[in-house]
Amino acid sequence: MNGAESLLRSLVSAGVELCVTNPGTSEMHFVAALDRVPGMRAVLGLQENVVTGAADGYGRMADKPASTLLHLGPGLANGLANLHNARRAHTPIVNVIGDHATGHRHLDAPLTSDVEAVAAPFSHWVRTSRSSRAVGRDAAEAVAVARTAPGQIASLILPADASWNEPGVPAKSRPIPDRPLPPDETIDAIARRLQKSERPALLMNGRGLREEALGLAAAIAEATGARILSDTFYSRLERGGDRATIARLPYFPEQAAAVLADVTDLVLVHTKAPVAFFAYPNRPSELASTSTKVSTLAELEEDAEGALRALAERLGIRRVEGGKHRASTVVPGKPSGELNPLTAAQAVAATLREHTIVVDEAATCGFAMLDVTAPAPAHDWLALTGGAIGMGIPVATGAALACPERRVLNLQADGSAMYSLQGLWTQASEGLDVTTVLLANRSYAILNAELERTGAAPSKEAQRLFDLGRPEIDFATLARGMGVPAVRVQDAESLARELAASYDEPGPRLIEAVL
């Protein structure tokens, strides 16, 4: 058995079942070993940001890592932006990055680069395998690192000779320690604060946004008068149906600061004190009021649900029903007339099916989406965690690979879509049940807002550079060119009708919604 085969066997035995890839010459032995090792599904992405984004989407839904297989420094570089998003989402990912054979590196052939240096800024762990014998052990460690709470990016660099040489030695998977509970004193102290606080709030992210944790937070809120809030961006929020609702902190910092202004105690669960996404001249970047007392219930690597349960017990809450909470069940009727961000959101809400996975890269087109869809049947909501645009199509692809029995709905802004449009081909190639609503306003609209907010002068050049309408991009045509059936809709009824129709058909579908 060569190093490549030992790598694959080690990954599979540690529970890694998916490899998203765009391989090259230095990865040939890994590719060939796929025939010999059962249990690994290999999926091709036509550019590496599709590959890493799909691994992110898979990890968010499967709560375990996919692997990637990337081609040297430039192949890795192409996927870094979605690794950045995955890192911010705390998604577990194992990157396998082929490199030149050990004896070839010093010759500085054209594709040579410092792969460790390329991986480092977006990885929690980087290692180059030193020999075929080390590959299996390194792979097992990479999976263990990736699965270490809260979820990490492990990048294993595989020189071609470590891949093709014998012997390879498969390694057993390593145990993953449970997330610890916070110390008793922390829970006691927060219980005391909440009991006497005038206007407390819980700010949650990470595993705090799963159904059970949300239900516990809602019970705590009811008992103490606390509000429950989420960060603006999160890996995955379980919502809808009878799940507890949670308000999202607004994107623009002055709005977020207003929401937080009168909070006396802010209790953090899997997050940190909130900060503005960008800085602006002469405005504060920290969003909590200086008079707010901030404390942390559960750090990122701790057990959020356990911490909330312990806190609820300390507060004397007897019957904690977990996720079961009454929320509004009035699903809005189907909208009619002109398509705009509000009617588009109503069309989504009126047609959303139970168990849908919503991938939200709607940007300015989607400002109404979250509120309007709150009463819809139970669904998951995946957001852009790192601000690197181009996550929507790839993450939707990966979520569909993780959950073949569920429909994925990708709410996708046009400017961001052009960053990783190639992912549509993978959806077609793998027959994935993804509906993409391409919200086309023909501009980088967020930048028009930001230009003014940064205090920069009004600018003709800016108007020109933010305009995606010269020429207009025809997304329905682009989707068809990659084998994804597509329609263009211009009114709200048509959007609702096409959404519902897409849910009844297997395979991917794109609906270009012209706003």
CB atoms within 10 A of CB 175: 8
Q: Kindly state whether residue 100 participates in binding a copy of itself, applying the rule CB under 8 A.
A: yes
Q: How far is the CB of 233 from a copy of itself (least distance, A)?
A: 6
CB atoms within 10 A of CB 515: 18
Q: Which residues, other chains included, contact 90 with Cβ-Cβ below 8 Å and sequence gap of 6+?
A: 150, 151, 152, 206, 235, 300
Of 15, 17, 63, 111, the one binding a copy of itself (CB under 8 A) is 111
Which of positions 36-65 make contact with a copy of itself (CB under 8 A)? Answer: 36, 42, 44, 46-47, 49
Which of positions 205-244 make contact with a copy of itself (CB under 8 A)? Answer: 233
DSSP 173: P
Of 419, 434, 437, 489, the one binding a copy of itself (CB under 8 A) is 419
Of 6, 12, 18, 29, the one binding a copy of itself (CB under 8 A) is 29
Q: Kindly state whether residue 80 participates in binding a copy of itself, applying the rule CB under 8 A.
A: yes
Distance, in Å, from the CA atom of 213 to the CA atom of 326, rounded to the nearest integer, reads 15
Tokens 């919502």 sit at which residue?
Answer: 239
Which of positions 143-202 make contact with a copy of itself (CB under 8 A)? Answer: 160-161, 164
Nearer to a copy of itself, 145 or 363 (CB): 363
Choices 58-66, 299-307, 345-353, 468-476 (CB under 8 A): range interacting with a copy of itself: 468-476
Q: How far is the CB of 123 from a copy of itself (least distance, A)?
A: 11
Nearer to a copy of itself, 219 or 363 (CB): 363
Cα–Cα nearest to 60, from 396, 432, 459: 396
Q: Kindly state whether residue 450 participates in binding a copy of itself, applying the rule CB under 8 A.
A: yes
Are the beta carbons of 398 and 56 closer than 8 angstroms? yes
Choices 196-204, 215-223, 316-324, 464-472 (CB under 8 A): range interacting with a copy of itself: 464-472
Q: Kindly state whether residue 327 participates in binding a copy of itself, applying the rule CB under 8 A.
A: no
DSSP 329: -
Tokens 């009463």 sit at which residue?
Answer: 375
How many residues in the shown chain lie near a copy of itself by CB under 8 A? 99
Distance, in Å, from the CA atom of 55 to the CA atom of 66, rounded to the nearest integer, reads 5
* 513 token code pair: 């919604």
Distance, in Å, from the CA atom of 184 to the CA atom of 72, rounded to the nearest integer, reads 47
CB atoms within 10 A of CB 84: 20
Q: How far is the CB of 257 from a copy of itself (least distance, A)?
A: 14
Of 286, 338, 371, 505, the one binding a copy of itself (CB under 8 A) is 286
Q: Kindly state whether residue 261 participates in binding a copy of itself, applying the rule CB under 8 A.
A: no
Nearer to a copy of itself, 278 or 503 (CB): 278
Of 6, 13, 68, 78, the one binding a copy of itself (CB under 8 A) is 78
Q: Kindly state whether residue 123 participates in binding a copy of itself, applying the rule CB under 8 A.
A: no
Task: Give the H or E element holding residue 435.
Answer: strand 434-440
Which of positions 374-413 make contact with a copy of itself (CB under 8 A)? Answer: 385-388, 390
Distance, in Å, from the CA atom of 241 to the CA atom of 377, rounded to the nearest integer, reads 4
Are the beta carbons of 249 and 203 closer than 8 angstroms? yes
Q: How far is the CB of 339 from a copy of itself (least distance, A)?
A: 20
* 181 token code pair: 């509970």
Q: Kindly state whether residue 107 participates in binding a copy of itself, applying the rule CB under 8 A.
A: yes
CA distances from 47 to 148, 396, 472 (A): 28, 15, 24
DSSP result, 342-353: HHHHHHHHHHPP
Q: Kindly state whether residue 473 participates in binding a copy of itself, applying the rule CB under 8 A.
A: yes
Q: Kindly state whether residue 422 participates in binding a copy of itself, applying the rule CB under 8 A.
A: yes
Of 1, 15, 32, 493, the one binding a copy of itself (CB under 8 A) is 32
Nearer to a copy of itself, 189 or 273 (CB): 273
Of 279, 336, 338, 505, the one binding a copy of itself (CB under 8 A) is 279
Nearer to a copy of itself, 177 or 455 (CB): 455
Q: Which residues, other chains included, contact 478 with Cβ-Cβ below 8 Å and sequence gap of 6+?
A: 421, 424
Q: Kindly state whether residue 277 participates in binding a copy of itself, applying the rule CB under 8 A.
A: yes
Distance, in Å, from the CA atom of 365 to the CA atom of 342, rounded to the nearest integer, reads 9
